Amino acid sequence: MVSARCKTLVKEELKKLSIEYASVELGETEILQAISPVKRAILNAALCAWGFELLDDKKSILVEKIKNIITVLIHYSEEPLKINFSVYLSEELKYNYTYLANLFAEHHGITIEHYIIAHKIERVKELLVYDELSLTEIAFKLHYSSVSHLSGQFKKVTGLTPTHYKQL
């Protein structure tokens, strides 16, 4: 699982620099002592080499948490949400959805909904390439209300129909 590998990489980098930590989660690490600016810069460089980024302002961290929740939902969750996404996100992060949505759009330049759809389409592309499921099964797996809705979003995001994409 990619998320487990990410956490392992972060733990390894922390160990190399003898930084003790209480927890390493997706998007959030709690360290047990203050670190010097030099050590911080070294850690940042090491994490950057793995494609990570060290964030410390609260809003950036919150945006990162939103992205992590979306990644887990789309890539690792089999069950559909039992509540609406807006309710789920605000309950998970303890902020109003409106605040989170505005913050995300401000930081990211696109809406949360656009980000979710773009990620879902990436997942659809993966599943099409694996060639194990039909489009109907993919629509069901990713909790689309209909195949035509999936196809419409796919065309909008990629410019291609799913069938055309699969033939490439």
Partner 1 sequence: MNKKQVILIVDDDEDDKQLFFEAVKEVDETIECRAASDGMEALKMLNDKKNSVPDYIFLDLRMPGIGGKKCLLEMRKKERLRNIPVIVYSTSTEIRDENEFKEAGVVHFISKPANPQEIYYLVSFVINEC
Binding partner 1 (rule: CB under 8 A), the pick from 3, 44, 71, 153 is: 153
Residue 65 Cβ, how far from partner 1 at the closest point, in Å?
18
Judged by CB under 8 A, the chain residues 95 through 114 that form the site for partner 1 are: 96-99, 101-102, 105, 110-111, 113-114
**Nearest-approach distance from CB 151 to partner 1, in angstroms:** 11
Interface of this chain with partner 1, residues 118 to 147, rule: CB under 8 A: 144-145
Binds partner 1 by CB under 8 A, chosen from 148, 163, 164, 166: 148
Tokens of 115: 């980000």
Positions in 44-83 near partner 1 (CB under 8 A) = none
Listed in sequence order, the residues at least 6 apart from 21 whose beta carbon sits closer than 8 Å to its beta carbon are 11, 14, 29, 30, 31, 32
Distance CA(119)–CA(127), nearest Å, equals 13
18: left (phi > 0), else alpha (psi -120 to 50), else beta? Answer: left
